[in-house]
């Protein structure tokens, strides 16, 4: 299988290394494409030695040339979210399948373009939802599939981003909603996809509220940071800011962005208190599903700790999962949680004492998710997955629709948005509702 990658920022390396190292048998990376020639050269230099002249590289305006010359079977899109549809549509129309980072895209017009191109060409689109493959999240699916808590009637789901991880979204291109869809699309797509997959259904209506409460000019003033500069690198008050990002002393970010910024002008360390930021940092969403279940969802991007809490309410009992990823940031360092105490899962069946379950675990990034996902993506002999974790354009679409509807609700002061009506209003009539695997399973 021949692959090409468009977008050589920080996330693409996982896919590059999977194709060229971990799953090189039967797979080949035939091209890299990016707007920045320095990042292209950096990535090409990390491809294992091969016969010939090395890996072929192309600038962004040469994408069509890459497809014509290299003829990849699949194009992997790891460009900024608002550009996914451009490359996905072009790749499909050139006869390629597509694999894309989440979110598949950020708004309804771009979603329609992808769905229409897929319908016209019949090409495959896979969205890489690694959270489905985290052993602990797969275990929740396994328990729900077993029927242990009966029919799921409601879900409470809270995700907490700390003041290092959460802050970073307000420094990068993600800080503009027209580029990322806001955190309810860029980040929460993972979470809404999990809920779709766990419940085996899709959302029907969404109500939301959200605002930028912390990453604001007012917060900067309250912290004594008035007069801050446009970026951290040479900020006149940077020595007083505990949220400052020092690119010069972060090896990976330095080579990817600081050393390469003269090639495209992209600044990786913009001030997170700028007035022109257009995304929210505090969001709450209520959603109804075609299964009859309801969801209450909260995302905070300035929490003192990082992790998640989720509770499933069922007709036979309750299932609770809590993951503390980072205890907090102390003296400028993140205190990352380790061991069994960082993750707990409790099963409470009516008439029985609650049971603390041994949480499934694995090695590798994202709680052991990435190695499992990559095997399913690139190992042709992996076999059938009883949990149905692979994802298509249909999964990708339904994962973003909750966030897109939530953004619309926020813009309308909390008005309820009905998904079918929203799709019809934008001429999207080729997206079926999907039912995920929900039958009994054992590990």
CA distances from 43 to 20, 55, 72, 84 (A): 12, 9, 18, 20
The CA distance from 40 to 142, in Å, is 41
Residue 385 lies in a domain: no
pLDDT at 435 over 80: no
pLDDT at 442: 40
pLDDT at 436: 66
The enclosing H or E element of 297 equals: strand 294-303
The CA distance from 129 to 145, in Å, is 19
What is the tens place of the pLDDT at every residue in 107-125?
999 999 999 999 999 999 9
- 53 or 344: whose pLDDT is higher? 344
Cα maximum dimension of the chain: 69
Proportion of the chain above pLDDT 70, given as a percent? 98
What is the tens place of the pLDDT at every residue in 272-295?
999 999 999 999 999 999 999 999
pLDDT at 158 over 70: yes
Question: 111, 394 in Cβ contact below 8 A?
Answer: no
| pLDDT grade for 50, boundaries at 50, 70 and 90 | confident
The enclosing H or E element of 121 equals: helix 108-121
Average of per-residue pLDDT across 84-101: 98
Domain CATH number, residue 396: 3.30.360.10
Question: 248, 323 in Cβ contact below 8 A?
Answer: no
Number of structural domains found in the chain: 3
| pLDDT grade for 162, boundaries at 50, 70 and 90 | very high
Question: 199, 289 in Cβ contact below 8 A?
Answer: yes
Average of per-residue pLDDT across 368-383: 90
- 36 or 364: whose pLDDT is higher? 36
The CA distance from 409 to 257, in Å, is 35
Which residues contact residue 350 at a Cβ distance below 8 angstroms, ignoring those fewer than 6 apart? 316, 317
Among residues 372, 442, 190, 388, the alpha carbon closest in space to that of 297 is found at: 190
Among residues 305, 297, 278, the alpha carbon closest in space to that of 169 is found at: 278
Domain CATH number, residue 55: 3.40.50.720
Task: Tell me the residue range of the domain where 260 lies.
Answer: 217-264
Q: How many helices (H) and strands (E) does the chain have?
A: 16, 16
Q: Residue 97: count other Cβ atoms within 10 Å of its Cβ.
A: 20
Residue 386 lies in a domain: no
Residue 300 lies in a domain: yes
Co-location of 290 and 174 in the same domain:
yes
Among residues 29, 25, 26, 24, the alpha carbon closest in space to that of 3 is found at: 29
pLDDT at 331: 80
User: What does pTM read for this prediction?
Assistant: 0.96
Co-location of 72 and 31 in the same domain:
yes
Co-location of 82 and 25 in the same domain:
yes
Among residues 157, 83, 113, the alpha carbon closest in space to that of 319 is found at: 157
Q: What is the mean pLDDT of the chain?
A: 95
pLDDT at 443: 36
pLDDT at 338: 84
Co-location of 204 and 229 in the same domain:
no
The CA distance from 3 to 13, in Å, is 13
């Amino acid at each position: 299988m021949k692959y090409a990658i468009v977008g050589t920022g920080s996330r693409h390396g996982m896919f590059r290394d999977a194709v060229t190292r971990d799953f090189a048998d039967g797979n080949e990376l035939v091209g890299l494409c990016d707007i920045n020639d320095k990042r292209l050269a950096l990535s090409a230099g990390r491809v294992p030695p091969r016969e010939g002249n090395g890996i072929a590289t192309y600038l962004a305006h040469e994408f069509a040339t890459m497809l014509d010359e290299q003829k990849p079977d699949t194009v992997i899109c790891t460009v900024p979210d608002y550009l996914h549809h451009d490359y996905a549509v072009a790749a499909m129309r050139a006869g390629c399948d597509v694999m894309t980072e989440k979110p598949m895209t950020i708004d309804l017009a771009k979603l329609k373009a992808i769905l229409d191109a897929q319908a016209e060409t019949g090409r495959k689109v896979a969205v890489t939802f690694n959270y489905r493959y985290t052993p602990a999240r797969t275990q929740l699916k396994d328990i729900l599939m077993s029927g242990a808590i009966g029919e799921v009637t409601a879900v409470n789901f809270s995700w907490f981003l700390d003041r290092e991880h959460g802050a970073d979204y307000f420094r990068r291109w993600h800080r503009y909603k027209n580029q990322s869809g806001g955190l309810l699309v860029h980040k929460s797509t993972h979470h809404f996809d999990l809920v779709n997959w766990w419940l085996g259904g899709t959302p029907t209506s969404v109500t939301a509220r959200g605002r930028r409460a912390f990453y604001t000019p007012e917060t900067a003033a309250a912290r004594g940071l008035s007069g801050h500069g446009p970026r951290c690198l040479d900020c006149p008050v940077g020595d007083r800011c505990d949220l400052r990002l020092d690119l010069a002393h972060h090896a990976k970010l330095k080579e990817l962005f600081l050393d390469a910024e003269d090639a495209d002008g992209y600044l990786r360390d913009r001030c997170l208190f700028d007035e022109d930021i257009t995304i929210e940092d505090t969001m709450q969403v209520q959603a109804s599903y075609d299964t009859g279940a309801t969801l209450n969802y909260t995302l905070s991007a300035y929490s003192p700790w990082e992790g998640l809490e989720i509770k499933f309410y069922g007709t036979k009992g309750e299932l609770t999962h809590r993951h503390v990823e980072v205890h907090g940031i102390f003296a400028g360092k993140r205190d990352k949680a380790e061991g069994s105490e960082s993750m707990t899962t409790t099963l409470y069946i009516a008439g029985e004492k609650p049971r603390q379950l041994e949480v499934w675990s694995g090695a590798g990034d994202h709680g052991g998710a990435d190695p499992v996902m990559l095997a399913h993506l690139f190992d042709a002999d992996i076999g059938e997955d009883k949990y149905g974790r692979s994802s298509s354009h249909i999964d990708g679409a339904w994962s973003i629709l909750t966030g897109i509807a939530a953004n619309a609700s926020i813009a309308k002061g909390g008005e309820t948005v009905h998904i079918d009506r929203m799709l019809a209003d934008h001429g999207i009539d080729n997206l079926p509702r999907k039912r995920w695997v929900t039958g009994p399973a054992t590990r």
